[in-house]
């Protein structure tokens, strides 16, 4: 059976409830003490007060004139009645403001003071010989607390305080304390609410920020607080948010790189499969031809043409050899292992050397070469690789010559590169083929290329070699022919 969830309270509410409960308990305890013990507290306080007043009186000389004024002040200040008896138990002083309460005789020179006539309700004697009594006047209900003390060997001081006044003071004090307690309670509640808000508002801000962090939103940070513990918590959360944000950015970057690598690997795998299929297709034809003519020789078919059969087998073998060489070049340059050997060289001299080495092909194709190159241009790159690029362009131009059978080699300057162009007169490249000619084994005119022993790897090798140099290449149809171009980096010398 699933246990019910406990009710969840907010920190502010719990803090307020605890504070109110503590205050109510304190008020309840205070009220109980006040109700049951306030009279006793006031009584004890009054008894101590009466003892102090008696001690002060015992130090006075009653015969001095200013003593009477001092006694009157004590009575007025402490709301007491004082009686002093001589050694012969004669009343020598009583409270003048209440002397009508006494029996007295009066002549021209003497006033005889009479003590009050009271019944004793209780008597408690102290260790030092002084005593406390509760007395009540005859023919009245008023009660008095009386403190008596002997001083100067046989003189007596008796101090009276009305029990009714003590009770009234206790009740008045209780009421006043109750009202004050209510005001204090309200004030404490207001202060509690204020400080609980000061404490819970930062927690709400931290909660808001941590919710955003949980949602992977690191745009908001916790503010600084005046409370040390909350400020440390805020700084730690900001530090955690920053580290999580950096880790997430790193993870996203690595994921993007991984996705890119996966896409690249897929494309590479696709290219490998296509390459293998194309190689198999290209090798299939010469192998079939060689096999056919070899079997003819074996079984004596066309014995009168043995020399021709042998020539065909040799020719197809050479084509296979050329294909294997081209494939090895393509694989070598496209493997990413080959490191280009960069150096400075004179572009005009470089191009002239390439043309001279191919004079036989140029002559056989009956081509006219126009050479327009400044002899002061210095390029930077792998001379051997760039030779392959230019010769591939040249042989491609010779294969597609037409009309005037003219080839123009030129170089122009563009920013930090030199652009080498090879133009040949002839038919333009169809729009459906112009974007595919850089792919391996792609041939626009398959029959014509097959007869010339070309396999569609030359331009793909050009693309690979230019990628090794980090430079561009391209082709565009002109009005009466086709122009291929590739870029060479300028020398910094």
Mean of all residue pLDDT scores within the chain: 78
What are the tens digits of pLDDT across the range 262-314? Answer: 887 787 677 666 666 655 655 666 677 777 767 777 767 666 667 777 777 77
What are the tens digits of pLDDT across the range 402-414? Answer: 888 899 999 998 8
Average pLDDT of the residues in 161-171: 82
CB 45 within 8 A of CB 79: no
The answer to the question of residue 225 being in a domain is: no
Q: Looking at residue 484, what is its pLDDT?
A: 92
Clarify whether residues 385 and 462 are in a common domain. Answer: yes
Average pLDDT of the residues in 414-429: 89
H-helix or E-strand containing 487?
strand 481-490
The answer to the question of residue 483 being in a domain is: yes
What are the tens digits of pLDDT across the range 302-350? Answer: 666 677 777 777 766 766 666 566 566 656 655 555 667 788 999 889 8
Provide the CATH number for the domain around residue 301: 1.10.287.130
CB 471 within 8 A of CB 490: no
Q: Between vectors from CA 468 to CA 463 and to CA 474, what angle results, nearest 5°?
A: 30
- pLDDT > 90? residue 147: yes
Q: CA nearest 458: which of 416, 490, 422?
A: 422
Clarify whether residues 161 and 286 are in a common domain. Answer: no
- pLDDT > 50? residue 109: no
DSSP letter at 89? S
Clarify whether residues 314 and 450 are in a common domain. Answer: no
Locate 25 and state its tokens.
């308990």
The answer to the question of residue 186 being in a domain is: no
Provide the CATH number for the domain around residue 108: 3.30.450
pTM for this one? Answer: 0.42
Q: Sign (positive/negative) of CA torsion 349, 351, 354, 360?
A: negative
Clarify whether residues 314 and 350 are in a common domain. Answer: no
Domain that holds residue 378: 340-490
- Provide φ and ψ at 5, rounded to 5°: -70, 140
Q: CA nearest 85: which of 138, 137, 149?
A: 149
The answer to the question of residue 33 being in a domain is: yes
What are the tens digits of pLDDT across the range 438-473? Answer: 775 555 554 444 444 454 566 777 887 778 778 888
Clarify whether residues 77 and 103 are in a common domain. Answer: yes
| Burial class for 157, CB neighbours closer than 10 Å (0-12, 13-18, 19+) | buried
Clarify whether residues 330 and 346 are in a common domain. Answer: no
Q: Which of these three, 121, 155, 171, is where a domain ends?
A: 171
Clarify whether residues 282 and 376 are in a common domain. Answer: no
- Max CA distance (Å), the chain: 193
Clarify whether residues 278 and 153 are in a common domain. Answer: no
The number of domains in the chain is 3
Neighbours of 220 (CB within 10 A): 15
What are the tens digits of pLDDT across the range 148-158? Answer: 998 877 788 99
Clarify whether residues 300 and 438 are in a common domain. Answer: no
Clarify whether residues 346 and 310 are in a common domain. Answer: no
Average pLDDT of the residues in 127-132: 89
Provide the CATH number for the domain around residue 378: 3.30.565.10
Clarify whether residues 281 and 354 are in a common domain. Answer: no
The answer to the question of residue 144 being in a domain is: yes
Q: CA nearest 131: which of 166, 154, 165, 157?
A: 157
482 pairs with which residues across the strands? 424, 477
The answer to the question of residue 382 being in a domain is: yes
Average pLDDT of the residues in 130-137: 89
Clarify whether residues 330 and 377 are in a common domain. Answer: no
CB 119 within 8 A of CB 136: yes
The DSSP code sequence of 335-354 is: SS-----EEEEEHHHHHHHH
Q: Which of these three, 149, 171, 193, is where a domain ends?
A: 171
DSSP letter at 456? S
The answer to the question of residue 81 being in a domain is: yes
Residues 6+ apart with CB under 8 A from 107: none
What are the tens digits of pLDDT across the range 178-217? Answer: 788 788 878 877 887 777 777 778 888 888 888 888 888 8
Q: Which of these three, 104, 138, 171, is where a domain ends?
A: 171
The answer to the question of residue 383 being in a domain is: yes
């Amino acid at each position: 059976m699933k246990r019910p969830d406990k009710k969840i309270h907010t920190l502010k509410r719990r803090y307020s409830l605890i504070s109110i409960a503590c205050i109510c308990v304190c008020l309840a305890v205070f009220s109980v003490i006040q109700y049951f013990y306030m009279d006793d507290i006031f009584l004890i306080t009054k008894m101590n007060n009466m003892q102090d007043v008696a001690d002060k009186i015992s130090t006075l000389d009653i015969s001095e004139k200013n003593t009477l004024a001092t006694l009157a002040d004590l009575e007025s200040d402490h709301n007491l009645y004082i009686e002093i008896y001589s050694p012969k138990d004669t009343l020598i002083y009583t409270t003048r403001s209440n002397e009508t309460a006494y029996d007295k005789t009066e002549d021209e020179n003497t006033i005889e003071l009479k003590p009050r006539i009271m019944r004793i309700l209780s008597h408690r004697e102290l260790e030092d010989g002084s005593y406390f009594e509760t007395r009540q006047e005859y023919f009245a209900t008023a009660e008095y607390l009386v403190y008596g003390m002997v001083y100067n060997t046989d003189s007596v001081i008796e101090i009276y305080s009305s029990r009714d006044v003590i009770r009234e003071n206790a009740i008045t004090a209780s009421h006043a304390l109750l009202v004050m307690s209510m005001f204090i309670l309200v004030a404490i509640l207001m202060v509690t609410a204020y400080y609980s808000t000061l404490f819970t508002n930062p927690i709400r801000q931290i909660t808001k920020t941590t919710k955003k962090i949980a949602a992977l939103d690191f745009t908001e940070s916790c503010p600084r607080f005046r409370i040390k513990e909350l400020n440390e918590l805020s700084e730690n959360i900001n530090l955690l948010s920053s580290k999580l944000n950096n880790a997430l950015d790193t993870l996203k970057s690595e994921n993007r790189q991984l996705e890119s690598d996966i896409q690249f690997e897929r494309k590479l795998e696709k290219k490998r499969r296509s390459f293998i299929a194309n190689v198999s297709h290209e090798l299939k034809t010469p192998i079939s031809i060689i096999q056919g003519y070899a079997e003819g020789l074996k079984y004596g078919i066309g014995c009168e043409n043995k020399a021709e059969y042998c020539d065909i087998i040799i020719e197809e073998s050479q084509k296979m050899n050329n294909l294997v060489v081209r494939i090895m070049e393509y694989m070598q340059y496209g493997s990413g292992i080959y490191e280009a050997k960069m150096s400075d060289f004179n572009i005009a001299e470089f191009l002239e050397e390439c043309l001279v080495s191919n004079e036989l092909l140029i002559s056989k194709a009956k081509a006219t070469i126009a050479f327009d190159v400044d002899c002061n241009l210095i390029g930077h790159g792998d001379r051997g690789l760039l030779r392959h690029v230019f010769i591939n362009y040249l042989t491609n131009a010779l294969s597609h010559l037409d009309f005037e059978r003219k080839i123009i080699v030129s170089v122009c300057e563009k920013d930090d590169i030199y652009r080498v162009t090879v133009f040949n007169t002839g038919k333009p490249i169809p729009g459906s083929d112009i974007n595919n000619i850089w792919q391996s084994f792609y041939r626009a005119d398959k029959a014509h290329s097959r007869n010339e022993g070309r396999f569609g790897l030359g331009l793909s090798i050009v693309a690979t070699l230019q990628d090794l140099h980090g430079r561009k290449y391209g082709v565009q149809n002109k009005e009466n022919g086709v122009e291929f171009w590739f870029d060479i980096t300028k020398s910094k010398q």
